[in-house]
Structure 1
Amino acid sequence: MTRTFHKMHGLGNDFVIFDAREEPLAMDEPLARAVSDRKTGIGCDQLVVLEKSTVADLRMRIWNHDGIEVESCGNASRCVVALTHAKTIETGGGLVRGEEDGSDIEVSLGEPHFEWDQVPVTYAIPTNPMPMAWGELHNPVALSVGNPHVVFFVDNADSIDLDELGPRIEHDPVFPDRINVNVAEVHPDGIRLRTWERGAGITRACGTGASATAVAAILTKRVQSPVKVTMRGGSLTIAWAPGEPIRMRGSATYVFKGEIELEALA
């Protein structure tokens, strides 16, 4: 059966989006991995399936490049708002609210959580900072912004070997759901960020990573809200205050529309 898909990206973090609100689509780990493969499939960092929702305008489900379903994705949320004009999106990480403002999209990701069992961490341990180290990375802030993150503040983000440390931290048993790994430099004009995304590796941009990093920097009084977070693919503006939802503003780019025979990938 031929299925229509949309290819979009948020600052180079790219997505294949299937709208299954009218025609259901059965997605699983092997098929998500096959679609995401850049050599034999369509190719993307994350695959998104849109479904009907009883609590929001639509439901968004997300599979990482490795085929594992995850709770939320900030860049994908902005793309879905731009594509569908949805005001509310149900995700595994909570309700996302969206607003279009010219060429920019702003999404509200809900409040962050810092409790060890909500990040989650395997056992009771401080999360600000975590008394742990992996190589030259140590004492991160751990939090959930709909999905789990650790944020390391460093002097030079480019000097960190994320190809080696990223997967080691992601798969550490202390993180039962695995973890997204952020290394950030704080400058007078904002934050410079590199992210190892759980199940996807190093990407050009990570919306929830930018949000988690901004929250951690505001919480530890390194910056004030709103703050500009710059990644290899571009910049996002993140605003947050304790007790309030995180607000993320940035671009969402439509690339092309296509059709695929999913059975051919099986």
Structure 2
Amino acid sequence: MASEDLDSYAFEVGMVEAGEEGNSFRTQNDPKAPIQREWIVQRTGAIDIRCTAKDVIHGYLESGEGYATLIVHDFQFDPRKTARRISSVDIEFFYYAMDGAPSPETLVQTTQTETKTSSTDLTAGADGFGAQVGGGRKWETTINRETTDTTRIIGSMDIKKRNYGKPNTASWTLLENKSAETGVPAHLRVAILLKRHDDDTEFQCECKIKARVDLVSRIGAMFRSVPKDDPILYDPTRDPTNVLRRPYDVENLGAVQLEDLTVVEFTNNEDEAEKAVQPAK
């Protein structure tokens, strides 16, 4: 067995300690309110992994033309026991329309690198997103920023379940600093911009999270077959949530600076995350 296999173990989010039941259930849509659920993924055990919807804004790309949806997600990665850590995480959002309608197109891409310079502070906030709408406007940002830990976050737009057309999937990979073994950031916020083909067709999203954990967590865990989470259901006729910004300009979602909505932190500090995205007064 290779040495890297001894150091870590990859699993679909569904790991529990022996005797724990926290990961034996799937996240379902509320039968009384199935549309746009807030809790996307929740797995608890030796390591907790959560994903929540922070904002969902349906509107237009530019000047009231071109249908679009802006979605902001929060992730939390929390080891519950001493010496446990998550060394890498793969995140995937696959979007598809209902009733055979054209699928939404993903308009988001990110590459981020943070370089270690000291060990006095374990908080980092950095971002790097790009999006392209049509051929007229383009955003591209690559960040190479000095912080106190070496962490890589790589994002991409992908095509899934077909071999043609525009990207219908947004994905991210989080990689820890291998030499320091500090684990992935505890809190990640990402923004996804979608181009829709009409004003009222509902669409869905499948979210998958795959984590790689340290050897101690591997030994202390058992693995079960976890039922697939319900797809997230979106209704473009819904009003904007306006949690992080009050309000969004729904006529010009393509003008939103996605990097302003992005948060990367080595500790879960919700107050600081909220401050990071409030527009200047």
TM-score, length of structure 1 as denominator length: 0.25
Structure having greater relative contact order (Cα 8 Å, sep ≥ 6) = 2
Pair member with larger Rg: 2
TM-score, length of structure 2 as denominator length: 0.24
